[in-house]
Structure 1
Amino acid sequence: MSVLSPYRVLDLTTERGLLCGQMLGDMGADVIKVEPPGGCSARSIGPFYKDAPHPDRSLYWWAYNRNKRAITLDIERDGGRDLLRRLIEHADFLIESHNPGYLSERNLGFADLTRINPALIYVSITPFGQDGPKATYADSDLIILAAGGPLILAGDADRPPVRLCIPQAYLHASTDAAVAALAAHHERARSGLGQHIDVAAQQSVAMATQAYVLAAPLGSPEARRMSGGVKFGPLDIPLVWPAKDGYVAMTFLFGSALGIFTAKLMHFLCEQGFCDEATRDKDWIAYGEQLLSGAEPLSEFERVKEIVRKFTCSHTKAELLQLAVDRGFLITPVTTIEEVVESPQFESRGYFQDVAHPELGQSFRYPGPFAKFSATPIEYRLRPPSIGEHNSEIYRDELGLSEREMAELTQTGII
């Protein structure tokens, strides 16, 4: 039995929150994806299988909807809302990502539905939360990353910031929502009552700045973007370094936590003839403070960086990784997509998994589980569903609707 196999989730999310339901489904929950007739808007997002746009062929849809069943339901209509309320009676979680107030205006808000099912955990995923001055603002991945802070670190120093090509904001929000849902579920075991979880994507992505989000309130120098690194006050600090056959991510930093690794690296570089003993023996623990105070000129830091760059350029990514393993350096290759797919580490852990798509007569390789549970491993029980694929299972077999009622609901566009 999987962790959440006794529980049911109603997933009313758009592309804003699909990953949350998938994570709960991966842990065994019975996730029912509730879509409007014609399908969720996420089905129109490409790329598409064989470059042929089709609501059941969106790779974006495939990526975030495994381990779900799917029904169609028009909650704009009284008949659709009535059916949803019947489903709520036996649901444990509801996830939604509509604009604040949208479901409440249709009498489907937290207060409305917990009158039907007091134990319901109601999860809302929105750009800026359910209240506050920005609650009704328009959103996009670019807007949220800008409002939350991470965007300031992404891109080149001499031009506006850029975001990653794959939307990130709602992935952060969705994972936070899944964790929050499990925390509320843990509390429900004590009280027997559900909660309304309010997840703002802006707040989720703010944590992706790591410690940098604390710089302004603490009066510290703020980090700024620099291609392949970060600008910290007057310092240009590379985080990505060139190798013979690509790039590596390397931590060449200072202070009590990281300076010891830099000292170790510089001793090796001296052994290999890349620098002299005076350079090797700099105080790498205090070096950052020396640069910021002016005790060590910035030109000297530029000279040291060039020494390190010559070292990385003289080795392949694989050679640098092996040195890191053997010598305890903080270096790892920046991998291509092909290298990720062919990763020996992923292969040894059985990460990538083939998922059968009987409707297409073949299987496709999917990224594997987000975690490995020793007693209740994640299984890919269901491929991403087609539009309304499980209408009969849910409406006829579970709710007891007759074939005539099903036909009437279909004809009137309610399902």
Structure 2
Amino acid sequence: MVQFLLFEVGMVQETINSSKKALGHLRVIEIGEEIGEFCCKTLADMGADVIRVEPPGGAETRDIGPFYKNERNPERSLHFWSYNLNKRSITIDLESNQGQLLLKKLVKESDILVESTPANWMEERNLDYTTLSKVNPKLIFVSISPFGRVGPHSQMHGGELVAWASSGYMYTTGWKWQKPTHPWGRQASHAAGLFAVTGAMAAIFERRRTGLGKQIDVSMQKSVASTVEQNVPFYIGDGVVSGRRENDHVNGFGGSKLIECKDGWVHMNIGWRNGHNEIVEWMKEEGMAEDLTDEKWHDSKFHRENFPHVLDTITKWAKRKTKAEFFHQGQERGLECGPVNSVAEALNDPQMQSREFWVEVEHPEISDGEKFTYPGAPCILSETPWAARRRAPLIGEDNENIFQELLGLSSKDQDELKNKNII
């Protein structure tokens, strides 16, 4: 019979010395699905030992496409590869009593637990913060959920679309004559993930002073609502409900604009105080400024009310240039502008290449020597750099090492648990 005892063991050795990793002294447990992945990936990228706890058949996010060579396989999900770089994986059936005891042993050896499970899921399995903090009083327990763990909507279901819609953000996004637009990708999960990382790091610093962990409750809805910029002050101050303004800024002074070029689009900030004189002078040199040199355009009200004419005049001129020409020549003139790049163009962007942003990671189980490109370090740490230490784990790939070195389970113990489908 396998014995489940809580005891302390040393940190498992890794191929890269933990002193060379900013968060190499931290161990993180990840439980849950999609909305918690980016938080834990960020911690792992900075060097934390992130252990993804999956059910024996693998996490549900392994079923999110696209899939490598269109092979629908839990080990071929490009989504899972991207969001689980640098992590380790173990499998535990948390529905079972023995599985729950295994997790508690792992909690004893960890610093942070990040969970993104449905409402009450952790409580129903006696894995909530109140219970686990008794196992490890130093544990920092991070919850990421659609609406937060408290409040009238805390029991409700939600995801990316619900977070954007309910936060007030989507109401302002899109074209005036069309329905609200959902921002592309999983930006709500990313925002919540970054706030979760911030909260966890603040708790780590506080733990140095108090010696105790704490619970951190992150709401996707609130995370997105924190990014609505000037829409809230405009409503509080003037009672103005900001609607969809296309490419315009909520303050109405021109602002962010997309300008069509010969081969695509550039984005630039232009208003009566910012960029107008510079771009008009440039157009004047090329004989295409038309009436934009008139003094009337220096009046903010006139400029705002007649901005479509400004934009039309600029577009007629800009269509003679490539977006690369516009970008480089505009930057030389002090304009805040940049090309709208496709993913392919971003991969070849000289600035990102010079910062070695794109990294190649080998997947030896896929093809001998073949490497895959991933986004790399968004920030550069001089002494403890971000590093792609390993590709995303296979299902339960690290069971043997973690169960033996951290939890003290022998091969016989592990075989017994595996036969019971607990690991």
Q: Which of 343, 349, 352 is equivalent to 1:343? A: 349
Between stretches 230-239 and 87-96, larger displacement belongs to 230-239
Q: Give the distance between the partners of 2:85 and 2:332, measured in 1 at CA.
A: 40
Look up the match of 2:52: 33
- 1:92/1:119 contact within 8 Å kept: yes
2:307 counterpart of 1:307: no
Q: Give the distance between the partners of 2:94 and 2:161, measured in 1 at CA.
A: 30
Q: Which of 376, 391, 398 is equivalent to 1:390? A: 398
- 1:231: how far off? 7.2
Matches within 5 A, 1:360-375: 360-361=366-367, 362-375=370-383
Look up the match of 2:275: 261
Q: Which of 163, 166, 169 is equivalent to 2:182? A: 163
- 1:122/1:196 contact within 8 Å kept: yes
2:271 counterpart of 1:271: no
Look up the match of 2:11: none
Q: Summarize deviations over 1:242-272 as a string: whole Å, max 9, x none.
A: 1111001111224xxxx14222222322333
Q: Which of 106, 126, 139 is equivalent to 2:125? A: 106
- 1:266/1:280 contact within 8 Å kept: no
Matches within 5 A, 1:111-260: 111-219=130-238, 221-227=240-246, 229-230=247-248, 232=250, 239-254=257-272, 259-260=273-274
The SS at the match of 2:289 is coil
Look up the match of 1:329: 335
Q: Give the distance between the partners of 2:363 and 2:238, measured in 1 at CA.
A: 55
Between stretches 122-131 and 268-277, larger displacement belongs to 268-277
- 1:98: how far off? 1.2
- 1:267/1:280 contact within 8 Å kept: no
Between stretches 379-388 and 104-113, larger displacement belongs to 104-113
The SS at the match of 2:230 is helix
Q: Summarize deviations over 1:335-389 as a string: whole Å, max 9, x none.
A: 0111001111111111111101111122111111121100111111111001000
Shift of the 21–158 alpha-carbon distance from structure 1 to 2, 3 Å rule, reads: same
- 1:99: how far off? 2.4
Q: Give the distance between the partners of 1:243 and 1:220, measured in 2 at CA.
A: 38
- 2:112/2:139 contact within 8 Å kept: yes
Q: Give the distance between the partners of 2:405 and 2:252, measured in 1 at CA.
A: 67
Q: Summarize deviations over 1:208-247 as a string: whole Å, max 9, x none.
A: 32222332222254433244x1375988876211111100
- 1:157/1:226 contact within 8 Å kept: yes
2:416 counterpart of 1:408: yes
Matched letter for residue 187 of structure 1: E
- 1:354/1:365 contact within 8 Å kept: yes
Shift of the 322–37 alpha-carbon distance from structure 1 to 2, 3 Å rule, reads: same
Task: Tell me the TM-score normalised to structure 1 length.
Answer: 0.91
Look up the match of 2:61: 42
Q: Give the distance between the partners of 2:219 and 2:382, measured in 1 at CA.
A: 32
- 1:221/1:232 contact within 8 Å kept: no
- 1:393: how far off? 0.6
Shift of the 139–184 alpha-carbon distance from structure 1 to 2, 3 Å rule, reads: same
Look up the match of 2:35: 16
Matched letter for residue 274 of structure 1: M
Q: Give the distance between the partners of 2:88 and 2:386, measured in 1 at CA.
A: 17
Look up the match of 2:3: none
Between stretches 93-102 and 30-39, larger displacement belongs to 93-102
Matched letter for residue 251 of structure 1: N
The SS at the match of 1:377 is coil
Q: Give the distance between the partners of 1:206 and 1:6, measured in 2 at CA.
A: 33
- 1:73/1:80 contact within 8 Å kept: yes
The SS at the match of 1:114 is helix
- 1:223/1:230 contact within 8 Å kept: no
Shift of the 270–303 alpha-carbon distance from structure 1 to 2, 3 Å rule, reads: same
Q: Give the distance between the partners of 2:293 and 2:308, measured in 1 at CA.
A: 12
Q: Give the distance between the partners of 1:44 and 1:173, measured in 2 at CA.
A: 22
Between stretches 76-85 and 312-321, larger displacement belongs to 312-321
The SS at the match of 1:63 is helix
Q: Give the distance between the partners of 1:297 and 1:179, measured in 2 at CA.
A: 39
Matched letter for residue 262 of structure 2: K
- 1:74: how far off? 1.1
- 1:36/1:74 contact within 8 Å kept: yes
Shift of the 231–31 alpha-carbon distance from structure 1 to 2, 3 Å rule, reads: closer
Q: Give the distance between the partners of 1:181 and 1:170, measured in 2 at CA.
A: 16
Q: Summarize deviations over 1:141-181 as a string: whole Å, max 9, x none.
A: 11111111221233332221222442221111011111111
Between stretches 161-170 and 320-329, larger displacement belongs to 161-170
- 1:150/1:206 contact within 8 Å kept: yes
Q: Summarize deviations over 1:25-52 as a string: whole Å, max 9, x none.
A: 1111111100111111111000000011
Shift of the 115–374 alpha-carbon distance from structure 1 to 2, 3 Å rule, reads: same
2:109 counterpart of 1:90: yes
The gaps in structure 2 that reach 5 residues or longer are 1-18
RMSD: 2.0
